């Protein structure tokens, strides 16, 4: 796509050149028009104009231009010449606007294409980052970077690829006209340039600094908005609407103040440049008027055309004064976007990674230690984990909150890598495997069911292309979900809302189980899958889970110990260490943590 955009940029550049040329021609035609209107002997007047030009390239161009007019335009009567020059002016402006339109269209294509590519690149890169990054980063901040910051970058792209080409070309064309008419007046008009550049530079530095602050304020505002919408049920339950309103208003006020500061700085450039230009313009009018009225070194039509050309320079000069400011704003936004792109994924594939075609034997934890800060001397969540889980075995993991149960199972699909030690599957270190081939062998059902704002059918068949409908229905039946799905307004084609909000907790969990059943993975991770469900839902979900666990290697995390009595083996975690291991009947007889947890749960 970037190569395509690069080639497309040639089109706006080509049309910009033509637009600039015809902008100059349309102004230069004012001389013969004025002479035709106000000179009695317009042919001799034009001959004087053509012959009085200075030497050099510009003088030659001027002579050629008026030579064309003599040969093709001013043959005939005074009135005929007037008609011809009017038609040429109309044609010149028509071509100028046609080329301007095509230049704008192709420029917009390139701009929006590049913005699209940047957004896609950031979104794609986010999928390569580990879960740890999303744990430490605010969701609203990431959304703001992909949406708002990239939109701000677009203004810099426009300023760079359009204004830095078109406006200088227009300035060159109009300066060329001005030089061809009077080089002395042209040099006088350029006095304003150094002062304008000085102010532009100073203002640009301040805008760059403030733009970074503004993007941060926008990210803060987006974060508050995202958190409030996500937790709207809690907000209403606790009657915190007014509190959240005040918090959001505080963030919008901070963004408002930051934005006004940028506007105040940005808008200084244009009036300062214009005021300096007007001062120079007044001097030019006085000096040029003296040459026309008293010295006779310049014709009135030439002087008027010169003034038109000089004042035509002012809009592109003013535009260029704002270009630097917009580039500074977009640079600040680009830094925030590329901060994300520059983050290296913690979980990487080695070169020539191995494809895991099937799981045959066992999963082994060898002296595994894990710390979320990634430091070998950090606060370890898991310590000295040595564990062997054979194919087809159901392993239950229990322990108090914070013992490291979820962290342990998160290491299996390589959401994180061990800080020390290693995990092997069929004798191969997980780090040597292709990540996709590993995760294809693993199904996960968690306490917090993640569903998407899509149909029931697409949520069950998530990650599977062209999955037959009968397979989806079969999985739903096995998950005890088919009956309630058929009662939905559009059955399997019903949209379930963001995060499945239109369904109950038990219904969401059964769709999640159906999704895992359809994937049919040899390894299954159940992370407190029956927590927070009512008794009826728990029974239905537990039945579905029992079907799901058949002929699979299963890691089960459960607070409700009654659900894991039939596990082949139970390990008990405490402070990141395995403190007990065995079957339910064995552990209940021991005077250890498992028995204490069991007695607490059943009030024994």
Per-residue pLDDT tens digits for 175-227 = 777 777 777 777 776 766 666 666 666 666 666 667 667 777 877 777 777 77
Q: Are 4 and 88 in contact (CB under 8 A)?
A: no
Per-residue pLDDT tens digits for 164-178 = 777 777 777 777 777
Q: Are 33 and 85 in contact (CB under 8 A)?
A: yes
Per-residue pLDDT tens digits for 231-245 = 665 666 667 778 778
Domains within the chain, CATH numbers bracketed = 2-341 (1.20.1560.10), 393-413+435-602 (3.40.50.300)
Tokens of 241: 């609407």
Closest CA to 460 of 414, 491, 427: 491
Q: How many other C-beta atoms are found inside a 10 Å radius of the C-beta of residue 346? A: 14
Please report the pLDDT score of residue 2 as a whole number: 47
C-alpha torsion 123→127→133→138, nearest 10? 40
Per-residue pLDDT tens digits for 308-326 = 777 777 677 666 666 766 7
Cut 0.75: pTM above it: no
Tokens of 83: 């008609």
Poorest-pLDDT segment among 181-185, 485-489, 596-600: 181-185
**Distance, C-alpha 220 to centroid of its chain:** 16
Per-residue pLDDT tens digits for 246-259 = 888 888 888 888 87
Name the helix (H) or strand (E) containing 277. Answer: helix 241-290
Q: Is the pLDDT of residue 426 over 60?
A: yes
């Amino acid at each position: 796509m970037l190569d395509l955009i690069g080639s497309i940029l040639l089109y706006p550049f080509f049309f910009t050149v033509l637009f600039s040329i015809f902008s100059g021609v349309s102004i230069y035609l004012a001389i013969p028009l004025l002479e035709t209107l106000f000179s009695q002997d317009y042919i001799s007047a034009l001959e004087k104009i053509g012959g009085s030009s200075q030497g050099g390239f510009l003088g030659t161009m001027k002579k050629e231009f008026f030579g064309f007019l003599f040969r093709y335009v001013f043959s005939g009567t005074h009135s005929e010449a007037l008609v011809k020059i009017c038609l040429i002016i109309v044609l010149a402006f028509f071509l100028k606007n046609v080329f301007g339109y095509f230049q704008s269209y192709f420029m917009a294509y390139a701009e929006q294409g590049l913005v699209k590519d940047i957004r896609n690149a950031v979104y794609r890169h986010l999928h390569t980052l580990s879960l740890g990054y999303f744990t430490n980063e605010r969701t609203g901040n990431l959304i703001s970077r992909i949406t708002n910051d990239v939109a701000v970058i677009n203004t810099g792209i426009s300023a760079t690829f359009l204004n830095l080409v078109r406006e200088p070309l227009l300035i060159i064309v109009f300066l060329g006209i001005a030089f061809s008419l009077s080089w002395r007046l042209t040099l006088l008009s350029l006095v304003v340039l150094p002062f304008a550049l000085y102010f532009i530079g100073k203002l640009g530095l301040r805008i760059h600094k403030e733009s970074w602050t503004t993007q941060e304020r926008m990210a803060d505002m987006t974060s508050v908005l995202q958190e409030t919408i996500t937790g709207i049920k809690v907000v209403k339950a606790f009657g915190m609407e007014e509190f959240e309103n005040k918090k959001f208003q505080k963030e919008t006020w901070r963004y408002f103040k930051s934005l006004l500061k940028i506007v105040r700085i940005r808008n200084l450039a244009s009036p300062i440049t214009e005021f300096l230009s007007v001062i120079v313009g007044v001097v030019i009018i006085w000096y040029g008027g003296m040459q026309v009225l008293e010295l006779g070194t310049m014709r009135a039509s030439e002087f008027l055309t010169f003034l038109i050309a000089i004042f035509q320079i002012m809009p592109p000069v003013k535009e260029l004064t704002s270009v630097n400011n917009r580039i500074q704003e977009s640079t600040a936004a680009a830094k925030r976007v590329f901060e994300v792109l520059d983050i290296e994924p913690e979980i990487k594939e080695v070169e020539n990674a191995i494809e895991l075609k099937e799981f045959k034997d066992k999963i082994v934890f060898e002296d595994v230690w894990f710390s979320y800060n990634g430091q070998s001397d950090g606060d370890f969540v898991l310590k000295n984990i040595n564990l062997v889980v054979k194919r087809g075995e159901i392993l239950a993991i229990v322990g108090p909150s914070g013992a490291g149960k979820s962290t342990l199972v998160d290491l299996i699909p390589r959401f994180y890598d061990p800080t020390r030690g290693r995990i092997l599957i069929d004798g191969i270190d997980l780090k040597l495997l292709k990540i996709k081939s590993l995760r294809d062998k693993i199904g996960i059902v968690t306490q917090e069911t993640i569903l998407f704002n899509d149909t029931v059918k697409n949520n069950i068949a998530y990650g599977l292309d062209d999955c037959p409908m009968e397979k989806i229905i079969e999985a739903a039946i096995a998950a005890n979900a088919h009956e309630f799905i058929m009662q939905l307004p559009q059955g399997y084609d019903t949209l379930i809302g963001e995060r499945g909000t239109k369904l109950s907790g038990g219904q969401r969990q059964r769709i999640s189980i159906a999704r895992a059943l359809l994937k049919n993975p040899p390894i299954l991770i159940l992370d407190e899958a029956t927590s927070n469900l009512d008794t009826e839902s728990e029974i239905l979900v537990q039945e579905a889970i029992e079907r799901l666990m058949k002929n699979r290697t299963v890691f089960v995390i459960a607070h409700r110990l009654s659900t894991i009595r039939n596990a082949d083996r139970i390990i008990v975690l405490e402070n990141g260490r395995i403190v007990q291991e065995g079957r339910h009947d064995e552990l209940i007889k021991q005077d250890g943590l498992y028995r204490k947890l069991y007695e607490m749960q059943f009030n024994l």
